[in-house]
C-alpha cells in the first residue's frame, strides 16, 4: 500500500529566478489543501545540512506571488555535493519526519535531489523528491520552459530598448552581454525581440566576419546608423567583441554587461502562472506516491518525468529561431 505523505519540505537552490516565490506559494498552499505539513528549507541544500528551516502555512506565503527573488533564500552548496554533506542533510530530513522534498532550481539542484533520495534509500529511509525547473537560462533538457525565463527576457528587452535610444541618437554601435550560462536561449529570444543587428550564441560557431562585420555592413547599406549586437555570455565576452569591432571595423562601440539585473524583478504573468501550475503538480505527484520526478512543460502542457530520465535528456536548440533572426536583421538583399 502507498505510504501516506504527511510532511514535505520545499527549497530553492542555485541561481534565483523570478517566479520561484510563486512556485513556493503553490507548493505550500497545495500541501495545506491536501492536509500535508510543509516545511520551508532555507538557503538551498545548506538548509538541510544546517537545520535551517521554517514551518509554513497558507499565510506564510501571502503576498509573495508578485515578488522576485526567493523568500527561502538560495545557495549553491559545495558541502551537499559530498556524501558526508548529504548524510547531515538526511539526518535533518529524519528529524523533521520529511516524506518528500520539492526542490525548485536548475539541473544541478535536481542532481543533488536524486543523490539525496538514493542515499536515503541505501540507508533504508524513504525520501521522495520532485524537481521544479526554475532558471532564467531555460537550459533544462527535459522541459521546454523554465520559470524565470520570460521575466528575464522582458528585463533585458527593457534595458536594451533604453540603450537603443541613446545609440540611435549618437549613431553608435552597442554590444550587450546577456546571461544564459552555456546556453543561448536568452540571447536569441532577446535578440529577436529587440531587432538586433547580430546575436552571438554558444550553440553556433562564431565567424567574426560573417556574424559581425558582414551584418554591420549590410545594416549600413540599408541606411542604419546604429547597431545592436547581443552576445550570450557563453559565446564570449562583450568587452572582447567590442574591442575587436573597434580594431576591425573602426567604429567605437559601447559595451554593456546586463549581469544580475536580469535575475530580478516582479515575475511576468507567464512565470507566475507556470510556477503556480508546476508547484501544484509537484505536490500532487508526491501526494499520489510518484517520487523522483521532474515537473516539465511540453508544448504548454505540464507533465512529470522520471528524474533520472529527465537529467539525461538534452535540449535541441531551436536553430530555426536563429534563421528567423537572420532573415529579419538583413534589411537589404544578400547580393549587395
Q: Which of 30, 135, 138, 329 binds ligand F6P (CB under 6 A)?
A: 135
Neighbours of 320 (CB within 10 A): 8
107 part of the interface to ligand F6P, by CB under 6 A: no
Helices (H), 68-134: 83-96, 107-122
The cell 559565446 sits on which residue?
235
DSSP 128: E
Which of the stretches 32-40, 49-57, 133-141, 213-221 binds ligand F6P when contact is defined by CB under 6 A?
133-141
Residue number with CB closer to ligand F6P (98 or 156): 156
Give me the least distance between CB of 123 and ligand F6P, in Å please: 31
User: x/- binding map, residues 213-242, to ligand F6P, per CB under 6 A?
Assistant: --------------------x---------
Give me the least distance between CB of 44 and ligand F6P, in Å please: 12
Q: Which of 136, 153, 286, 295 binds ligand F6P (CB under 6 A)?
A: 136
Cα–Cα distance, 80 to 96 (Å, whole number)? 18
Give me the least distance between CB of 8 and ligand F6P, in Å please: 25
- Beta carbons of 108 and 116 less than 8 angstroms apart: no
Q: Which of 5, 11, 13, 15 binds ligand F6P (CB under 6 A)?
A: 15
Neighbours of 49 (CB within 10 A): 23
User: x/- binding map, residues 260-299, to ligand F6P, per CB under 6 A?
Assistant: ---x------------------------------------
Distance between alpha carbon 153 and the CA centroid of its chain, in Å?
11
137 part of the interface to ligand F6P, by CB under 6 A: yes
Cα–Cα distance, 96 to 86 (Å, whole number)? 15
Residue number with CB closer to ligand F6P (173 or 232): 232
Give me the least distance between CB of 96 and ligand F6P, in Å please: 28
What is the radius of gyration, based on Cα positions, of the chain?
22
Closest CA to 193 of 244, 246, 157: 157
Residue number with CB closer to ligand F6P (136 or 142): 136
Q: Which of 37, 107, 137, 271 is flagged as catalytic? A: 137
Identify the helix (H) or strand (E) that includes residue 199.
Answer: strand 198-200
- Beta carbons of 133 and 296 less than 8 angstroms apart: yes
Give me the least distance between CB of 297 and ligand F6P, in Å please: 18
Q: What is the DSSP string of 148-185?
A: THHHHHHHHHHHHHHHHHHHHHHT-EEEEEE--TT--H
Residue 107 is among the residues annotated as catalytic for this protein: no
Measured CA distances, 79 to 59, 82, 89, 90 (Å): 32, 6, 10, 13
Residue number with CB closer to ligand F6P (86 or 263): 263
Number of residues forming the site for ligand F6P (CB under 6 A): 9
Residue number with CB closer to ligand F6P (47 or 184): 184
Give me the least distance between CB of 12 and ligand F6P, in Å please: 12
Residue number with CB closer to ligand F6P (136 or 235): 136
Beta-strand pair 293-298/227-232: unpaired
43 part of the interface to ligand F6P, by CB under 6 A: no
Question: Which H, E and C letters describe 10-63, residue by residue?
Answer: EEECCCCCCCHHHHHHHHHHHHHHCCCEEEEECCCHHHHHCCCEEEECHHHHCC
User: x/- binding map, residues 174-203, to ligand F6P, per CB under 6 A?
Assistant: -----xxx----------------------
Active site residues: 137
Residue numbers of the site for ligand F6P (CB under 6 A)?
Answer: 15, 135-137, 179-181, 233, 263
Amino acid at each position: 500500500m502507498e505510504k501516506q505523505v504527511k510532511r514535505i519540505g520545499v527549497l530553492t537552490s542555485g541561481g534565483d529566478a523570478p517566479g520561484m516565490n510563486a512556485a513556493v506559494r503553490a507548493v505550500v498552499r497545495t500541501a495545506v489543501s491536501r492536509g500535508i505539513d510543509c516545511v520551508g528549507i532555507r538557503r538551498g541544500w545548506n538548509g538541510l545540512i544546517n537545520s535551517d528551516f521554517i514551518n509554513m502555512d497558507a499565510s506564510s506565503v501571502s503576498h509573495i506571488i508578485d515578488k522576485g527573488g526567493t523568500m527561502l533564500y538560495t545557495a549553491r552548496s559545495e558541502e551537499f555535493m559530498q556524501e558526508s554533506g548529504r548524510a547531515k542533510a538526511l539526518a535533518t530530513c529524519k528529524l523533521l519526519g520529511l516524506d518528500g522534498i520539492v526542490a525548485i532550481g536548475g539541473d544541478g539542484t535536481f542532481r543533488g535531489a536524486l543523490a539525496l533520495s538514493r542515499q536515503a534509500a541505501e540507508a533504508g529511509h524513504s525520501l521522495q523528491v520532485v524537481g521544479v525547473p526554475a532558471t532564467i537560462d531555460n537550459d533544462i533538457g527535459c522541459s521546454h520552459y523554465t520559470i524565470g525565463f520570460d521575466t528575464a527576457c522582458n528585463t533585458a528587452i527593457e534595458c536594451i530598448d533604453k540603450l537603443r535610444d541613446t545609440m540611435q541618437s549618437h549613431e553608435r554601435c552597442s554590444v550587450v552581454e546577456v546571461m544564459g550560462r552555456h546556453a543561448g536561449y536568452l540571447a536569441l529570444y532577446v535578440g529577436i525581440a529587440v531587432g538586433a543587428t547580430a546575436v552571438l550564441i554558444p550553440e553556433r560557431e562564431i565567424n567574426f566576419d560573417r556574424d559581425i562585420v558582414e551584418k554591420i555592413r549590410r545594416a549600413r547599406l540599408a541606411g542604419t546608423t546604429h547597431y545592436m549586437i547581443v552576445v550570450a555570455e557563453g559565446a564570449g565576452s562583450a568587452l572582447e567583441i567590442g574591442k575587436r569591432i573597434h580594431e576591425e571595423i573602426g567604429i567605437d562601440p559601447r559595451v554593456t554587461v546586463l549581469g544580475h539585473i536580469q535575475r530580478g524583478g516582479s515575475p511576468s504573468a507567464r512565470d507566475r502562472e507556470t510556477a503556480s501550475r508546476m508547484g501544484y503538480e509537484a505536490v500532487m505527484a508526491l501526494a499520489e506516491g510518484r517520487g523522483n520526478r521532474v515537473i516539465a512543460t511540453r508544448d504548454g502542457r505540464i507533465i512529470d518525468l522520471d528524474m533520472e530520465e529527465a537529467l539525461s535528456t538534452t535540449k535541441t536548440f531551436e536553430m530555426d529561431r536563429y534563421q528567423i533572426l537572420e532573415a529579419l536583421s538583413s534589411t537589404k538583399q544578400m547580393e549587395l
